[in-house]
Structures are given as structure tokens and as C-alpha cells.
Amino acid sequence: MKTIFEHIEYAKGQPHHVRKQITFAAAGLGTGLVALVWLVGNLSFGTFAIQGSNFADSGRPAADIAGSDASGAGLAGAASALSDPDAPAHIEIVDTSPATTSFKLADPTILPF
């Protein structure tokens, strides 16, 4: 059985169009392997399954949207999505800037030329 180095040396001795074919075949094989691992991983965890089906329930448990901490920081979108499923979609903008400033803003400086 040849080692990988012997295969590389064999490919180096081939014409350019053959080396190009070998390169694209190896890249396609590697991409296919990564895609296969990705697909099997997603199917095994039920990511592609319809919620409420037996296949989805057989995978991992449903994600805890609130998270492990009680602060709820950064969960405004998730909380609004869960509030009422029959309500129409809407966006609520919450101003988080301070209400008042305790200092006077400086007058703009004029630079003479």
C-alpha cells in the first residue's frame, strides 16, 4: 500500500490538467465528507425535524430560552416572540440612554485659521 507521500510524488509527475483533476477531486471529497458529518450531526440532534414530531422529541431536549441566569439580558427578542403566538408581529424600540445628564456639554471650540 502506498503512503500519502508516494501519491503526492505520483501527482507531481503528472501533466497540469491531471494535477488539476486530482486537486478538484480531493477538494470535492473533503467537502463531501464535511457535509456528511454536518448532515448526520443535524439529523441526530433533531435540528431539521418538525417540532412536535416523534423524531424531534427523540433528540436533545428543547432549548431553555431564558438561559441559566435570571438577569434576562439580551433576551428581549426571544421574550417578545414567546409572549403571545397569535398576536401580530411588531417591533418595540426601547430607549436605553440616560434620561438626564449631570454635566453641561461644552460649547463647540472654534479654531481660527
Q: What is the pLDDT of residues 78-112, one digit of tens each?
A: 555 556 667 777 777 777 776 665 666 666 777 77
pLDDT of the residue at 90: 72
Can you give the residue ranges of every domain in the chain? Answer: 20-60
Please report which confidence band the pLDDT of residue 43 belongs to, taking 50, 70 and 90 as the band edges.
confident
Predicted structure pTM score: 0.40
- Is the CA virtual torsion 108, 109, 110, 113 positive or negative? negative
CB 65 within 8 A of CB 77: no
